[in-house]
Structure 1
Amino acid sequence: MSLKAKMADWKSRLAGWFVDREFFMRSNGQVRFIRISAQLQRRVATVVGSVVGVWLIITLGMMVNQLSVSFERSMLSAKQERVESAEERVAKYRESIDEVADDLETRQKMVEDAVEQFGGDLPPAAETGTGAETADKIGAAIPEEKRLASIEARQIALAEHMTRIATIRSQKAAAAIREFGLDPKSLAVEAKEGMGGPFIPFFGKKQKQVRDPRFSRMFAALDQMNAMERALAGIPTSMPAAVGLMSSGFGYRSDPFTGGGAMHSGLDFKGPHATPILAAADGKISFAGWQGGYGNCIEITHANGLVTRYAHLSGFTVSLGQDVKRGVQIARMGSTGRSTGTHLHFEVRVNGSAINPMKFLEANPDVLEIQAVAGSSATGQSAGAQ
């Protein structure tokens, strides 16, 4: 049914409610007719409906008013409770500021120790500059935070100083690694592998995490510096034996047994039987045993993924899985395996491929000096981690 038809139906029904009506009244033998028209009925119904509607509106308004008053009283009560507890919260807030300041002072000592370890002298105190100006403004607006803001300003100055130091050292280490013909980025990635330990936030648990980007840059710069210097320190630049005679070089040569052309994948150093064989760099003994033509053989895997191999040995002084430092004795010179006499066969391998060890053993003195600094830093970090 359409809307128009429905409206017409309701209109006809409503019209049926209000029709002309006649009433008969008998009085003293006479009959009278009282007629009430449909129009009058509609008027009376309208008046009654209006009165009822007004009464309902007034009643509803009174109820709404009572609810509004009740709500306002409830809000006022809650506000009074908040006001009453405000002093307690301010006291707790001030206690929290004291805890944060104490925590920052502890972290301050850690940052200063790091600067002394990696960056030498401490920079001047942050009495001027943007950090100090910010601390003064915070102290004027919120006296309770003056102490905290001053400490943080000092830490920001130290963070910027450390970032500069770490960036310079990373660049020097990367340049030194390139002198050996190696890729600094790939070695730095490998140097980050095999790391772990529990998470201890540098800025403590009580205070909010420091979100200043200068701290993020400092952490990134220190991480990059550590990776580069570990990679540089792991490059084998120390002589594997205290001998001065190299009997065979790297590359193609005439095979000592057959006389035919052959590829020699390392350097041969001739010396007396049982001459001490030394680790060319810090690392871990990843192989110690017999290996075909190499005879008694030791392999050391270094922090940057490089591997050094020492062959034809007469005996071992280390065991599998042992950590060794640069220059310590790992074996004794011999003539085991495919060998014509007592000597050391020394190899350097990257990703399984042999490369000429001479580029490492004949490194520029300036490069070796940078490597010595990197090695001492890496040793200090390892000791601290333990």
Structure 2
Amino acid sequence: MHKQNTGKGFKARLDHMFTDREFFMRSHGQVRFLTISATLQKRVFYSVAAALAFWLVITLAMMINQLTVTGERMALAQKEAEVNSIESRVSSYKASIEDVAADLKQRQDVLDQMTEQFVGEPPAAADQKQNDEQLSENTRKISAAFPEAAHLAKLEARQILFARRLTNAAIQRTEQAAQAIRKFGLNPDKLSNNATNAMGGPLIPFFKEQNQQLHPTLERLNLALQRMDALERTLIAIPSGKPSSTGMISSSYGYRRDPFTGGSAMHSGMDFKGPLGQPILAAAGGRVTHAGWKSGYGKCVEITHGNGLMTRYAHLSKIGVATGQKIEQGVQLGAMGSTGRSTGTHLHFEVRLNGRAINPRPFLEANSDVLKIKAIARQRAKTPGRSESGTSRG
């Protein structure tokens, strides 16, 4: 109702504005009348209003279009600036990659020279070709899409070959250690299992992402080095030094006639005859687990070497070490005597594996080749920065 009243009021105002109008003109004594009707006035008004409105619409559309074009030009200019910035960054990255690749290549050259000097001959061309063919698929894609990364792909190939050479060297040293352990009459697999069956600690993933893993070549190298480390440490722990400088053996390992009862008895070690006070030396490094009187053995020292191995030095006149002390091969433990169940001055020497006495003779008669392999393993274990267990040196 209000809208209808408003409409009627507007129409009334228009009717009031546009009424019939008469104009008269006098010319040469004559008067003429010109009448402009209200309808004509309205038509002229509406035509002018429509033209003005159309002009305003066209002007507004042109302004909007101009603003749109300006915005698009600004966006295009911004994109061009971003592209230029990306191209600049890519160029910077390319230069950076080339610098990094050059630095890594120089380091790899040094590693290859060191490996050639201490491990073996340089890789053959056939090995290099095979290595190139086994590049990872990701590296191939990167090289194809980003030629500057080809240097890194070549470095990856050299690193894989480098890891393989180290793996072969570790396998060779592992086999040498295993052969040396067998010459002592021991089983290398059982001994190394004794060394690795007691492990623990909190879980700290090597990679942040759970699905990340070592490259298969590096994984094989890691396993080979762990195997080598276990066997070489096992070899180091095996007693091979003579417990006394005297070479007089008064009784060997095995069954014999007991010197007190005259009956058959099992002799669990070897007896070395010598003067009173003769220095008694550790046959291998380890930790002293007993230093004192022991029934039947008199004054006695026991050294645990790890991997289930233990040596016993009995009938001493005096003891020069304490329980819990960590010692190395060749350290003086005490002096020869005749304490305990003994008929004269001598050293009773035992080697025990997992609590069972075994024949000490193979340990005392190790040839020079075995001792050389053991010395190499001991030198590696003494390298600064390596962690050592208290029962792995000797």
Q: Among residues 270, 275, 295, which one is paired with 1:267 in the alignment?
A: 270
Q: Among residues 183, 189, 198, which one is paired with 1:185 in the alignment?
A: 189
Give 1:385's aligned residue: 387
Question: C-alpha displacement at 1:209, in angstroms?
Answer: 5.9
- C-alpha separation in 2, matches of 1:320 and 1:130: 57
- C-alpha separation in 1, matches of 2:245 and 2:152: 58
Q: Among residues 327, 331, 334, which one is paired with 2:330 in the alignment?
A: 327
Is 2:306 the counterpart of 1:303? yes
Question: C-alpha displacement at 1:305, in angstroms?
Answer: 2.1
Give 2:284's aligned residue: 281
Deviations 1:93-112 (A, max 9, x none): 87997999699779959976
Residues 288 and 304 in structure 2, CA contact (< 8 A), matched pair in contact too? yes
Letter in 1 for 2:163: A
Give 2:348's aligned residue: 345
Q: 3-state DSSP class of the match of 2:229?
A: helix
Deviations 1:255-311 (A, max 9, x none): 222222221110010111221111111222122121111111111111332111111
Letter in 2 for 1:184: P
Letter in 2 for 1:298: V
The change in CA–CA distance for 1:150 and 1:348 in structure 2 (over 3 A counts) is same
Deviations 1:187-234 (A, max 9, x none): 1122336678999999x999x966431111111111111111111222
- C-alpha separation in 2, matches of 1:103 and 1:351: 52
Residues 241 and 276 in structure 1, CA contact (< 8 A), matched pair in contact too? yes
The change in CA–CA distance for 1:88 and 1:295 in structure 2 (over 3 A counts) is farther
- C-alpha separation in 2, matches of 1:199 and 1:122: 39
The change in CA–CA distance for 1:187 and 1:155 in structure 2 (over 3 A counts) is same
Question: C-alpha displacement at 1:347, in angstroms?
Answer: 0.2
Is 2:294 the counterpart of 1:291? yes
Residues 143 and 153 in structure 2, CA contact (< 8 A), matched pair in contact too? yes
Q: 3-state DSSP class of the match of 1:384?
A: coil
Residues 163 and 218 in structure 2, CA contact (< 8 A), matched pair in contact too? yes
Give 1:119's aligned residue: 119
Residues 118 and 165 in structure 1, CA contact (< 8 A), matched pair in contact too? no
Question: C-alpha displacement at 1:120, in angstroms?
Answer: 5.3
Give 2:56's aligned residue: none
Give 2:222's aligned residue: 219
Counting matched residue pairs gives: 307
Question: C-alpha displacement at 1:236, in angstroms?
Answer: 1.0
- C-alpha separation in 1, matches of 2:88 and 2:115: 40
Q: Among residues 337, 359, 363, which one is paired with 2:362 in the alignment?
A: 359
Larger mean Cα displacement after TM superposition, 129-138 or 290-299: 129-138
Give 2:233's aligned residue: 230
- C-alpha separation in 1, matches of 2:296 and 2:382: 36
Residues 239 and 361 in structure 1, CA contact (< 8 A), matched pair in contact too? yes
TM-score by length of 2: 0.64
The change in CA–CA distance for 1:280 and 1:105 in structure 2 (over 3 A counts) is farther
Question: C-alpha displacement at 1:90, in angstroms?
Answer: 6.7
Q: Which has the larger radius of gyration?
A: 2
Residues 126 and 153 in structure 1, CA contact (< 8 A), matched pair in contact too? no
Q: Which runs of 5+ in 1 are unaligned?
A: 1-79
Question: C-alpha displacement at 1:114, in angstroms?
Answer: 8.7
Identity of aligned residues (%): 53
Deviations 1:79-126 (A, max 9, x none): x9xx98977997998799799969977995997699479735665799
- C-alpha separation in 2, matches of 1:318 and 1:106: 52
Question: C-alpha displacement at 1:159, in angstroms?
Answer: 0.9
Is 2:186 the counterpart of 1:173? no
- C-alpha separation in 2, matches of 1:117 and 1:289: 50
Residues 230 and 304 in structure 1, CA contact (< 8 A), matched pair in contact too? no
Q: Which runs of 5+ in 2 are unaligned?
A: 1-78, 389-394
Deviations 1:40-88 (A, max 9, x none): xxxxxxxxxxxxxxxxxxxxxxxxxxxxxxxxxxxxxxxx9xx989779
Give 1:38's aligned residue: none
- C-alpha separation in 2, matches of 1:114 and 1:291: 52
Question: C-alpha displacement at 1:363, in angstroms?
Answer: 2.6
C-alpha root-mean-square deviation of aligned residues, in Å?
4.4
Deviations 1:338-379 (A, max 9, x none): 112221110000111101101221234433333333333333
Residues 240 and 284 in structure 2, CA contact (< 8 A), matched pair in contact too? yes
Q: 3-state DSSP class of the match of 1:173?
A: helix
The change in CA–CA distance for 1:169 and 1:301 in structure 2 (over 3 A counts) is same
Larger mean Cα displacement after TM superposition, 327-336 or 137-146: 137-146
Question: C-alpha displacement at 1:140, in angstroms?
Answer: 4.9
